[in-house]
C-alpha cells in the first residue's frame, strides 16, 4: 500500500469518524504531505522511520524558519497520523510519541470591545433575508461562543427553545444557551429570511444565496464584508467573536470552569489563557473596592 493511500485513509477517518472540519483536515493534509515529500527526498521509508530521522526532520523544519506553534502543529499532525497507522496494524511504531513539543509562544487571544460589537450588529439590513441571516450569525457567534465550524452545522432540529445542541470536536456533544437578543433575530429569520433562502428543504439553519448550506469560508467572507462597513481598523477573524464571548463572561464575573464548559474545551488549561486578558480589570476592581487598597 502506498504512502498516499495511507494519507487518504487517514483523512477519511478524520472526516467521517472524527467529524473534523474541512479546514482542520486540510491542515493535517498539508503537514503530512510535506513530511512525505521530505521522507522521499531523503531516501527514507515512512514505516521504518527512527527517532534519529525525526531529529533530522525537526532540524529541517527549523531551517525553514517555522515558529514554535507551527512546528508543534506539524508534530501533532504526524503523531496522530502514525497513531492511526498503529491502530490499523500498518506499523507497530509511532516515532513521534517521544518527541517533545517546543515551548509555545504566549499569544493572547484578540477580542472585540462592546462598542465594536454594537457597530457590527448594526450593519446587516434586517429587511433582507441575507441581512437577517448575517445578524443572526453575529448574535450566535458572540452569544454562544460556538466555533464557526460548529455554527454552520447547526440544524433546525438542534434548536430547542433557547438551547442548541452542538456537535463539537471529536463528535463530542454539548448544549449552549442563547439570550433574548439572539432569540429575537432568530424568530425574525425563521419567519422571513429562512423561508426565502430555504428553497431546497435544507435541514441546516444557515444557508447561502444559492440556497445551500453556508460554509466556514462563507462566514469569513461575510464577516470581512461587515467589518469593511464599520470604522473598525484591525485584522479580524470569526474566532474573535468566540474570544469576545469568553473574555466578556470572565469580565462580568463568570467562573473559569463554566466558561470552559460553554466553550467545549477538554481541559481547563485551554480556557485559562483568557484570564491573562482580564488581569487589568481585576486590578482595577481591587483598587476601587478593597478597603485597604488605598487611603
Catalytic residue positions, numbered: 147, 169, 239, 242, 265, 274
**CA–CA separation, 131 vs 137, rounded Å?**
10
Q: Quick one: three-class SS letters along 74-108?
A: HHHHHHHHHHHHHHCCCCCCCCCCCCCCCCCCCCC
Residue 230 half-sphere exposure, CB side, CA atoms within 13 Å? 21
Closest residue by Cα to residue 77 from 25, 41, 5, 37: 25
Site of grid cell 454562544:
144
The size of the chain, in residues, is 295
Instruction: Please provide residue 101's backbone torsions phi and psi, each rounded to the nearest 5 degrees.
Output: -75, 140
Q: Any idea what DSSP says for residue 11?
A: H
The three-state secondary structure class of 193 is helix
- Per-residue CA distances from 59 to 63, 70, 71, 74, 82 (Å): 6, 14, 10, 13, 20
Amino acid at each position: 500500500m502506498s504512502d498516499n493511500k495511507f494519507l487518504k485513509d487517514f483523512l477519511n477517518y478524520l472526516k467521517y469518524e472524527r467529524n473534523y472540519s474541512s479546514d482542520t483536515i486540510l491542515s493535517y493534509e498539508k503537514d503530512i504531505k510535506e513530511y512525505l515529500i521530505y521522507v522521499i527526498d531523503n531516501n527514507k521509508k515512512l514505516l521504518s522511520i527512527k527517532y534519529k530521522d525525526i531529529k533530522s526532520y525537526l532540524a529541517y523544519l527549523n531551517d525553514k524558519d517555522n515558529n514554535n506553534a507551527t512546528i508543534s502543529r506539524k508534530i501533532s499532525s504526524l503523531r496522530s497520523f502514525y497513531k492511526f497507522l498503529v491502530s490499523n496494524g500498518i506499523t507497530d511504531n509511532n516515532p513521534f510519541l517521544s518527541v517533545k513539543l517546543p515551548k509555545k509562544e504566549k499569544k493572547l487571544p484578540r477580542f472585540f470591545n462592546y462598542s465594536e460589537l454594537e457597530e457590527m450588529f448594526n450593519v446587516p439590513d434586517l429587511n433582507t433575508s441575507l441581512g437577517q441571516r448575517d445578524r443572526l450569525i453575529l448574535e450566535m457567534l458572540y452569544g454562544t461562543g460556538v466555533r464557526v465550524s460548529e455554527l454552520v452545522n447547526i440544524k433546525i432540529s438542534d434548536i430547542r427553545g433557547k438551547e442548541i445542541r452542538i456537535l463539537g470536536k471529536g463528535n463530542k456533544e454539548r448544549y449552549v444557551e442563547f439570550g433574548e437578543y439572539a432569540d429575537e433575530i432568530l424568530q425574525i429569520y425563521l419567519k422571513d429570511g429562512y423561508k426565502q433562502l430555504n428553497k431546497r428543504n435544507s435541514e441546516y439553519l444557515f444557508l447561502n444565496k444559492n440556497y445551500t448550506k453556508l460554509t466556514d469560508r462563507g462566514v469569513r467572507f461575510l464577516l470581512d464584508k461587515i467589518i469593511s462597513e464599520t470604522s473598525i481598523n484591525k485584522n479580524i477573524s470569526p474566532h474573535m467573536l468566540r474570544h469576545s464571548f469568553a473574555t466578556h463572561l470572565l469580565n462580568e464575573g463568570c467562573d473559569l470552569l463554566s466558561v470552559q464548559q460553554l466553550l467545549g474545551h477538554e481541559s481547563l488549561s485551554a480556557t485559562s489563557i483568557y484570564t491573562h486578558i482580564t488581569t487589568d480589570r481585576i486590578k482595577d476592581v481591587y483598587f476601587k473596592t478593597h478597603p485597604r487598597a488605598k487611603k
